[in-house]
Amino acid sequence: MEEIYPVLADKHVSVLTNLIENIAEEDFKIEVVLSGTEWFKEPENDILFFESILLGVPSQHINMVMLGGDVQPANAKYQAEWLKKVLPHFLNHEHGVLKKLNYLFDTVTYRNTKQATSYVAWVTQEFPSLKYLPVNLYNRSLPPGSVWQEYAKVLNEYMDIYRSAGRPLWIDEYGFRLSNTSEKEIYTEADRVEYLKGFHHALFCAKQPPAAHFIWTAGNDRYNTNPAKDHDRTPFGLFEGYTDNMPVTGDAWSELSLFNKDSSYCERLKEPD
């Protein structure tokens, strides 16, 4: 661990540098998520770790740095205390390179509107000058077979809460998990398409769109060789597999492509199926 934590060795930094430069060539918006130690026990060393990465990679390509993974500051006091030490350190950093970067934190999808309201209240009280509100927006609360209008309605309940913070939203995770073999309720690719339609309508077709949105995940996280290993956190992947190192895409990927390429997407949603 010495060459990784608390200071990342140059040979590892070079790998990250190569990755970021390759992604930047495609003109993608880049978000970097830096997670701390288990149970957020070492904020001082986490700061050193984060600095060693950010000062080593080509940070001019990074649009946002998310500090901490799955932080629930309104629900977990120890996570809130970690965040109140680490985030201000970077927001007010003395180093010129680090001072120029944008910083937020990676939160979670809240299970109900009460938790979401508490989260917004905590952020606005503790960090009133944050440029964006970080949001995580999965939703699998509806039964299989639900239509996009129902997903849009449920998502809008949360969006109204998050928009009440009075700042642009930075959605660093959203997506829809299909069912694994152990589940009784079976969510299919068709359900994921309806969720995506509802997501797009709730966030882009009615009110102010978010500043950024990153879907989880544009890959394949299924255990194709051993489906029994699929558990309750998989599969989110948008690729059904690979043929000759090229991804095999499905209906959800096609829906995403349509949203990104068709300027009349929102008008299409208004048309009857």
Q: Give the residue from 54, 74, 106 where a domain finishes.
A: 106
Q: Is 214 helix (H, G, I), strand (E, B) or coil?
A: strand
Same domain? 41 vs 75: yes
Same domain? 128 vs 54: no
CA–CA distances in Å: residue 242 to residues 24, 55, 178, 248, 249: 24, 35, 18, 5, 9
Same domain? 139 vs 237: yes
Same domain? 136 vs 6: no
Same domain? 136 vs 161: yes
| Count of domains forming the chain | 2
Same domain? 120 vs 248: yes
Same domain? 87 vs 191: no
- Digit-coded pLDDT (tens) for 177-192: 998 777 889 999 999 9
Residue of 220, 223, 219 whose CA lies nearest to 231: 223
pLDDT above 90 as % of the chain: 81
Has this prediction a pTM greater than 0.75? yes
Q: Give the residue from 89, 106, 123 where a domain finishes.
A: 106
Label residue 228 by pLDDT band (50, 70, 90). low
β-pairing verdict for 64-67 and 31-34: parallel
Same domain? 115 vs 46: no
Contact partners, residue 38, CB within 8 Å, separation at least 6: none
* Distance, CA of 73 to CA of 79 (rounded, Å): 6
Same domain? 88 vs 194: no
Label residue 10 by pLDDT band (50, 70, 90). very high
Chain Cα centroid distance, residue 202: 17
- Digit-coded pLDDT (tens) for 63-102: 999 999 999 999 999 999 999 999 999 999 999 999 999 9
Candidate from 120-124, 125-129, 167-171, 233-237 with smallest mean pLDDT? 233-237
pLDDT at 225: 64
pLDDT at 181: 74
Q: Give the residue from 106, 125, 141 where a domain finishes.
A: 106
Mean local confidence (pLDDT), 39-57: 97
Label residue 128 by pLDDT band (50, 70, 90). very high
Determine phi and psi for 57, rounding to 5 degrees: -90, 165
**Can you give the residue range of the structural domain that contains 140?**
110-273
Same domain? 35 vs 62: yes
* Distance, CA of 230 to CA of 24 (rounded, Å): 33
Same domain? 114 vs 97: no
Same domain? 4 vs 92: yes
Asked whether the beta carbons of 73 and 123 are under 8 A apart, the reply is yes
pLDDT at 232: 61
Residue of 197, 199, 189, 185 whose CA lies nearest to 144: 185
Asked whether the beta carbons of 251 and 208 are under 8 A apart, the reply is no
pLDDT at 231: 65
